[in-house]
Structure 1
Amino acid sequence: MSLVKYEIFNKVAEEASFTKAADALGLTQSAVSHAISSLEKEFGFSLIHRSRTGITLTIEGDMMLLVMRQVLETQELLQQEAAHILGMTKGKVRIGVISSISSNWMPEIIRIMDKQFPDIQVELREGDYYEIEQWLLNGEVDVGFLNSQHSKQFQYTELQQDPLLCIVSNESPLYDQKEIDVTELNNMPFIMISYKGTNDVKVILDQYHVKPNIRFELSEEVGIISMISHHLGITILPKLVMQNLPPTLRAIPLKQGGYRTIGIAMKHQASPITKKFAEILSMWVKEQTR
């Protein structure tokens, strides 16, 4: 069986579309459809359910996708090991990132990677901690940023502790304070950052039994900042997301401290390129904190 067919099926599953998969792979839609039909004929069962509303994987398709991704991952590892032996570092690394990392860290990291290893292709996929962990488990990314370790399948390296700060507008009674006691936030109008997985903000609020008046839960920091700029509440966010706050807002430290942990996770048998990326990233973060 051809690995090319596995790659096509994997891309179709990612895009949930024959057309989008064909565009991403530089193939015709007919070629993509033929590859899937050929796989289904070889296996003896359907991989994809086709309907007017789109395509979904069958139960068998989901099962086979996991195995195919393992095969593709092994093939990539094999190619990278061969290149490593020859002294030519080339290949691809797929990275799961959170939004604040993709905007603040990754541009410089990619610049360094491009300069030192021009033959390494970097792919970014943005999501929240829960999504990144699922991508790691499913083999959709090689390495990902997480705030804690939940699976023994990964090796997890802590990179930085990012302080949690309270953001208030100039109309807030807390605006002139040098620090804010978390307990002061009880019943205050609050805009909560929302994502699946361990929520660092909710953790510190629960730790001190604080129940603010949560008016909105938003997944994008930009939307939260806009809400606070319009004096609709306050929030707690990691320092790293607070780039270029409007002049009417202040980011104030918490009396109790509090932070989110930023770390990277990858499988124990990671490829040489994945290890090289992790090495460059760790060195860069250390230099930034000196």
Structure 2
Amino acid sequence: MTLTQLEIFSLVAELRGFTAAATRLGIGQSAVSHAIKSLEQELGVELFRRHQTVVEPSDIGQQLLLRARAMLGLANTLRQEAADARGMRRGTLRIGSFGPTSSMKLLPAILERFSALHPGIEVHVDEGPDRQVLQWLDERRIDVGFVVLPEERFDTFALVEDQMVALLPAAHSLADQTCVKLRDLCDDPFILTEAGSSELVWRLFNAARLAPNVRYRCSQLLSTLDIVARGDAVSVVSEGSLPLVQHPGFVVRPLSPPVPRQIGLAVLDSRQASPATLAFIELAQAVRSI
């Protein structure tokens, strides 16, 4: 068993295909197939279930995948520590990001500084809903992720705080109010943005024993803004995720009582984090701003 085999195994599982994994690695599909076959023969189990168009890990394959990713993460940390001794000239950093707050307002400035200081570190950024970033951390698919705090399962580092706000059509009856209560948002059609702090929004309503009339679910904030601007729904979003120039079709109002949201970075275990990961966190804490 080699690290190369484990890397190929992990990538085939992630991309659900031998061809896709071969393309990502820049090798032939036959080499990928041979690596998986050799690994299966050595372990004596079938790692994948083959379908017509995709492959997926078998039950034992899914179990071993977590171990493989842990081993690959440790190997990457070892490489990073060796690179750190040489001035961190080479290495890889895998970042998980969600929503406009982290992907558009926080990450660019941090990456600009990080790339200038560590040009030899190759950076991979995966974007998805906030709950998916947490899953990627659990599965060791990323080294560090932007998360909504608190997150007690991980080692976390606070960055910025903003507020959750009501998003209303400009002609809505509540648009003239200075602030809006959650219960005032339960009668209208409600749109939930899956890409941002959807879990926090649900917790807010559940804690108040309220149930929004969810009529729409969107994966992107831009779709949410468009639907609200057309007057079709109301929503609750984070202030930091909103564009600097607002559309005339919607208005933003603070919630009453105020609901702060804190954004930070999370790692599975800071004691095992690579030098590149720790350097990124240190820079992020210095650069932090929305």
Instruction: Tell me, yes or no, whether TM beats 0.5.
Output: yes
The C-alpha deviation readout for 1:236-277, integer Å capped at 9, x for no partner, is 100122103312211111231112221111123211111110
Shift of 1:211: 3.6
In 2, Cα distance between the equivalents of 1:211 and 1:231?
20
Which amino acid is 1:208 matched to? A
Shift of 1:198: 6.8
Aligned residues: 286
Residue 108 of structure 2: aligned partner = 107
Shift of 1:65: 1.6
Structure 2 counterparts to residues 153-192 of structure 1, below 5 A: 154-192=154-192
In 2, Cα distance between the equivalents of 1:78 and 1:54?
33
Residue 205 of structure 2: aligned partner = 205
The answer to whether the Cα contact below 8 Å between 1:130 and 1:196 also exists between their aligned partners in 2 is no
The C-alpha deviation readout for 1:122-172, integer Å capped at 9, x for no partner, is 1111122221112111111111112134454x2112222221111112221
The answer to whether the Cα contact below 8 Å between 1:146 and 1:263 also exists between their aligned partners in 2 is yes
Residue 22 of structure 2: aligned partner = 22
In 2, Cα distance between the equivalents of 1:104 and 1:248?
23
Instruction: Give 5+ residue unaligned stretches, structure 2.
Output: none
The answer to whether the Cα contact below 8 Å between 1:47 and 1:61 also exists between their aligned partners in 2 is yes
- Runs (4+) of structure 1 exceeding 6 A deviation are 195-198
Shift of 1:89: 4.5
Shift of 1:218: 2.6
Which amino acid is 2:249 matched to? T
Report % sequence identity: 31
In 1, Cα distance between the equivalents of 2:211 and 2:79?
53
* Closer, same or farther: CA 159–50 of 1 in aligned 2, 3 Å: same
TM-score by length of 1: 0.91
The answer to whether the Cα contact below 8 Å between 2:179 and 2:256 also exists between their aligned partners in 1 is yes
Matched position secondary structure for 2:149 = coil
* Closer, same or farther: CA 46–252 of 1 in aligned 2, 3 Å: same
RMSD after superposition? 2.0
Shift of 1:226: 1.3
Which amino acid is 1:32 matched to? V
In 2, Cα distance between the equivalents of 1:122 and 1:7?
17
Residue 214 of structure 2: aligned partner = 214
The answer to whether the Cα contact below 8 Å between 2:95 and 2:124 also exists between their aligned partners in 1 is yes
In 1, Cα distance between the equivalents of 2:167 and 2:197?
23
Instruction: Give 5+ residue unaligned stretches, structure 1.
Output: none
TM-score by length of 2: 0.91
Structure 2 counterparts to residues 36-115 of structure 1, below 5 A: 36-100=36-100, 101-115=102-116
